[in-house]
Chain A
Amino acid sequence: MGGVMRRELWVNAALWLGLICVPLWAHWAGEPFTITLATRAVIFAVAAVGLNIALGLGGLVSLGHAAFFGIGGYAMGILAFHAQNYQPLFEWPFVFEGSQSMPLIWVVAFAVSGLCAFVIGLLALRTSGVYFIMITLAFGQMFYFFSISWAAYGGEDGMLIYVRNGFPGLNTLDPIQFYGLCFAVLSAALLVQARLARSPFGLALNAARQVPERVRAVGLDPVRLRLLAFTLSGAITGLAGALFADLNRFVSPSMFSWQLSGEFIVFIIIGGTARLFGPVVGAMVFVGLEHLLGGLSEYWHVWFGALLLGIVLFGQGGVIGMIAGKARAHD
């Protein structure tokens, strides 16, 4: 194992342990709001880990990933809305009154956003480069405007969910327990990405990013590899959307906004593209600065932009790259 990889492993382990310690410290220090902030960062990190599979491994710059985040959010919102209002979601072939069970909601959010990513990927992956960016942006905007006009589920105002959904054996209203759930999902997403990157599929996807024609020469279809990656990527980002909706107990069209898609990309760039914990660091930095600088000025994005500029110009491996050293790719 190379020095950079070993250092990165230590950095990742420290970050993972740090995330475990955050709620404990917040509880000890009597700062419960920090747990909510950390939960927000962890959920954003899950969304960006999803995007990192497409962007970091596959080189697919999607400016429409908020669509999957929003689909996951609305999957949660619609299921919970029907359950809390005792209105059947559908009555044929059987009566289904929605659900406020997180495991079921997660499965639906994962499956529906994955399915949408598959369909969008089928069309978008016919293009590449700037056209791919534009077509994903266009799909994202389609979902955004559709949600605004969807009066049955709150339209522009969104939907309020009165009680956070439940998870067997846990009190999800307890911030630490809900944080623990989100942290477990993040850990699982990171594990999937780590295993994927080292698998023959992940290596072929990485190779397809580098020289697609050579990948064809060894019998692999780059489009199929990218489509699978894009589908998984969208599904994980959708799962993050369901968690985000549960954190806020609110779903609105802003979850589909293109600005949010841009922020996911920024998380990855700040943390380090294709670095396993890059999205985690990026989300933590973003949420931290949003909290610290947001209290000082509503124009805090200016300072955040300066930070992004500095990283792009002087630290292309992102924060992880600056600490652990340059990786072999992307930096």
Chain B
Amino acid sequence: MQSKISCFNKAIFKKNLTRFWPFAVLYAVYLFMIHPMSMYLEFTNWYTNPGDRQAWELVGNHFSNLTEPFSVCAAAIVIAIAVFSYLYQSRSANMIHAFPVTRTELFVTNYLSGLVLMVLPQLLTALATNLVILGKANRMIWMVWAWFGITLGETLFFFSFACFIVMFTGQILAAGLFYVIWNCLYGAAVVLINVVGDMIIYGISGSLINNPVCPLFPVAYMVREIGFYRYGELNNYQLDGISVVLLYAAAGLVFAVLGWFIYQKRRIECAGDFLSMKWTAPVFRWGTAMIVGVAGALCWTYLTGEYTSTNRMVTRFVIFLVICSFVLFFVAEMFVEKSFRVLKKRIALENICCVAVLLAGVALLWFDAFGVETYVPETDQIKVVSLGGNGSVCFEDTSDIEEVRALHKLIIGQRFEQKAQDQSYRMDTISLSDVAQPKAADGRYEDYINITYELKNGRMVRRSYWIITEDPSFRDMLWAQSESLFNDTEALKRSCLGMNYEELNWQLVTGYVSYSVPDDTGEYLYNSYPLYGSKEQLQKIYDAIVADFDAGAFGQYGRPDTGKLSASVNLTLFTERKGIEIYYASDGGHMSYFDGEDRADGTNMYVDLNINENCTNLIDALIDLGIITSADDLCVPEGDTGADYEKYIQ
């Protein structure tokens, strides 16, 4: 008999469970392998009789390295396709819909049975894991059930989303394909836009859009945002991302309702078709032509020819883009129509429009319609700017920022010339930063400069320029401005020692001097002299470094690398150093201050410097301390350096 609840049918529910239990079993086996079984083996193999702390560590480590969203995501589509598989064959679709059940009843019953098929293995896994750690790490049992909770939330989202996708499609292949596409669409689109931007827009180095991982890329976002993190003690774990789980679970419910709604509108006669809703066909055609077309054209462009000039690359890309998108548009239509006969006037016109839109997009990027290429932030918008490529210096004073902006504008002014430049490797190319002063009138020079602005509104603007020039006037201006900025003594010192180095009340903890020396066979061995000496000795080294900074010894721009010295000095400071750090994170990164107060908890800061021939103060200090006898020791040392080391550490 029918259930009293009009939207649920017990017979269908039972039938689903008895038909599709192997999927649940497979999923359960997988979960058992990676959770209770894995943990049991770790307990038995690694610790014959683990103490509390070892057990905590083991359980904590296990749950903090989870990538559950991947398996939930995969299981969801398999089970969703299974419980709604009758929709994909006209034989089964006609039969099932002729039964005295409503579509609501079918949807709700199938949806719930699918959820049970997913959740049951998870529940059993949690119970088994609980049993494994019971008596060994009771304090960590909460993690098992927290894992179950977050997995439940993820399941709700992915399974509902999978059902939603299944409702849109008329065959298994399409369901799987669309599920993968929609799950990764945002990430893939961002990557493609960045690669295209990187190719077309001068100065954009894969950072046109900074954030491929966002809520629209659920698997990656969940992996990043949801998890257990340890704070201090071994058993002090916290679950982060509960709100993310709840939001995704809520989104899952929305998708479930949408799936139900689409099922009401679904044409049963579409069984076997690629798409169940005809109005989605243009979206599919255009999406395929645009996304896959761009991806195909990029692959074709990069795989079939050397990178020469931007102009040539873009020309090649445009040709391949037209071919790929045009062909793929028809291919998509073939899938929709299940026929090769798709050369219809309407489709051809639509295809031409699609290709035209893509070309317009390329043209907009090429002619910098969005002002990305020529964008230089205003001085009053900039909080701090970092210059890299030939060392690293940071500026926050207005006059310095103006100088950087002037350099930036100088480079941008050459963008069309740069796009036309042949960028393939040539032996006669000289690195501009390696010459003391460019003199040759007809030489070919190259330089690489990164400019990173952090704006006062928190936004970060990054540009990377590879500059190749044979134009003497541009070259000289570029060299002069770069030299002035990269060798700015104060900027170098502040970047290395801290923005507030003059106010620091630091404490030198430790340090070492290292260099490579050849052994008898000519193989270079790495040597390191720990600086365990008195505070006075270490202070002497620090003072020598500061003196060398003041003397301009550490500026690298326009200083040819003689390669004579291969030594570095590293100091570990326990300090309230104020500095600037640039984070290139998946959320776009940021350049941030860390100030003394933040670091007053005892975080060590490191000063790493390569010693060069101009570091006379530092070399003298090392000689005075007996670490080396002369500057030559840092280059090609003679004698038994091992003995020197033994002597020193005694």
Chain A bound to chain B: no
- Taking Cβ atoms with an 8 Å cutoff, the residues of A that contact B are none
